[in-house]
Structure 1
Amino acid sequence: MAGLALLGCGSHRDELEEQRRRLEREHEQRMAELERVEARLYHALGTVRLWQELGARHRQVSAIACENLSAHAEAMKRHHQRLLAPRAAPRLARADTQGDAASN
């Protein structure tokens, strides 16, 4: 009878050892999956930060482009107004005959 009890304990130990190994494998699989999820989250975070940075740069460049375009449009307007402004008739040199006679 004592031999049967010892034999039963041995199989129970084997079952416990098998369960421990199974739990260890499951734990390792879950940890590996968590590491993959963490890597994906960090990648997604990097992508979000990249798009935020690109958005900020786009807003800055757009603001500069608008200022430049506005200044250019004003300069074109002034130039066009100068082209359309009435011009004074060209002055021709005249010989002053009376001034020459008086100086003699």
Structure 2
Amino acid sequence: MSALSKTIITPLGFEVFLNAIAKEITGSRVLVNGVATEFELYKKTVEGNRLRVFLLLNKITEGEIKDFRLIDRHGRELAENIEVVQKTSLRGLLVRFEMAFVETPMKEGVGK
């Protein structure tokens, strides 16, 4: 009995997997002037093999903003962006997380 040597994820497969991951991302946690603060997500999109998650900080939030993290409903951190931004109350701040998922062929003999 031989195993199939090539498994390929279809475009629909990528869409299903990425939508499942997107569904698990329910909010964000950001350090605002050293205090961990949770924010709602602005938008999530799945296009091809890319998942994009946006959060929007309003004009009221100001000061040193850093350590942007995406969290699930249990508060677990799933992704991070460690940028540091000095934000004034003159504008909001849109932060984008973008993740591209790529298939990598397994080497011969792996997984047998």
Structure number with higher relative contact order (C-alpha < 8 Å, ≥ 6 residues apart): 2
- The structure having more radius of gyration, on CA atoms, is 1
Superposition TM-score tier, normalisation by shorter sequence: under 0.3
Larger strand fraction of residues: 2
Larger helix percent? 1
